[in-house]
Amino acid sequence: MAEPLLELQALDVHYGAIHALRGISIRVGQGEIVSLIGANGAGKTTTLRAVSGMLRPSAGQIRYQGAFIGGLKPHRLVARGLCHAPEGRGIFPNLTVTENLSLGAFLRRDAEGIAQDLEKGFKLFPILKERATQMAGTLSGGEQQMLAIARALMSRPRLLLLDEPSLGLAPTVVETIFNIIQEINKQGVTILLVEQNAHLALQIANHGYVLETGTVAQTGTGTELLRSPEIRKAYLGE
């Protein structure tokens, strides 16, 4: 099993009086794709927000690269190579595609490296190169999703948190996005993926976790979970 890059141990998160995560433990190995699946409200997005510093855990521990990071501010984590591409894309609609991408590198000072990574992003997402000077708000949903991922990559992450990258996209675009996620992973980026399309998410995952009402209900390799009768019935519509 790969060395853990990220470990959550007995993690609790509250939103006011709501107990959103209840003692969840998750392990993401170096170089892996780990998928979190579950119904709406199961705690998937909350997990990513806790890891990326947007929410403070009320109990338990988060370790990244061996260090405890629970409660650290998001920009401090980006500087350590942990980047979050949130659901809803979070792009800046009144800035161009290139300006959005440049903002992904806001903590970096290596102009040459930034220029190289910009080209790398355009190579990964050729459509963004065609749209380079266009306002991001005028892009299609799929193009905005590609921009959100490309922007996250501009910070040179070691760990990329992806929240619902396929949400609301046409099937052909979803296929493209998932191929690119695998390509990013092959380039050495570890990925923690939250995804409503359980079948696709488990197909590309080394490991998967099923969340139900803030707890881990089931875990296994992507292949094991795809074969599980309970998973097939609950999440794959069989």
Tell me the per-residue pLDDT of 148-186, one tens digit each, with 9 for 90 and over.
Answer: 999 999 999 999 999 999 998 999 999 999 999 999 999
Topology, domain 1-81+161-238: Rossmann fold (3.40.50)
- Mapped onto helix, strand or coil, the DSSP state of residue 161 is strand
DSSP output for 53-74: TSS--SEEEEEETTEE-TT--H
Name the packing angle between helices 141-153 and 171-186 (round to 10°): 10
Q: Which residue shows structure tokens 């992450």?
A: 157
For the cut 90, the answer to whether the pLDDT of residue 89 exceeds it is no
CA–CA distances in Å: residue 134 to residues 84, 94, 139, 141, 147 = 24, 9, 8, 14, 12
Tell me the per-residue pLDDT of 93-125, one tens digit each, with 9 for 90 and over.
Answer: 999 999 999 999 988 899 999 999 999 999 999
Q: How confident is the model at residue 1 (pLDDT cuts 50, 70, 90)?
A: low
Tell me the per-residue pLDDT of 28-50, one tens digit each, with 9 for 90 and over.
Answer: 999 999 999 999 999 999 999 99
Residues 6+ apart with CB under 8 A from 193: 33, 34, 35, 36, 162, 165, 181, 201, 204, 205
* Annotated domain spans of the chain: 1-81+161-238, 88-156
Sheet holding 59-64: strands in order across? Answer: 18-29, 4-15, 59-64, 67-68
pLDDT score, position 236: 84
Q: How far apart are CA 7 and CA 145, in angstroms?
A: 27
Record the tokens describing residue 200, joined without a space: 């696709």
- Mapped onto helix, strand or coil, the DSSP state of residue 83 is strand
Tell me the per-residue pLDDT of 211-237, one tens digit each, with 9 for 90 and over.
Answer: 999 999 999 999 999 999 999 999 887
What region does 15 belong to: left with phi over 0, alpha with psi -120 to 50, or beta? beta
Q: What is the pTM of this model?
A: 0.94
CA–CA distances in Å: residue 27 to residues 1, 103, 122 = 11, 30, 32
Pair 57, 11: CB distance under 8 Å: yes
Tell me the per-residue pLDDT of 120-150, one tens digit each, with 9 for 90 and over.
Answer: 999 999 999 999 999 999 999 999 999 999 9
pLDDT score, position 90: 82
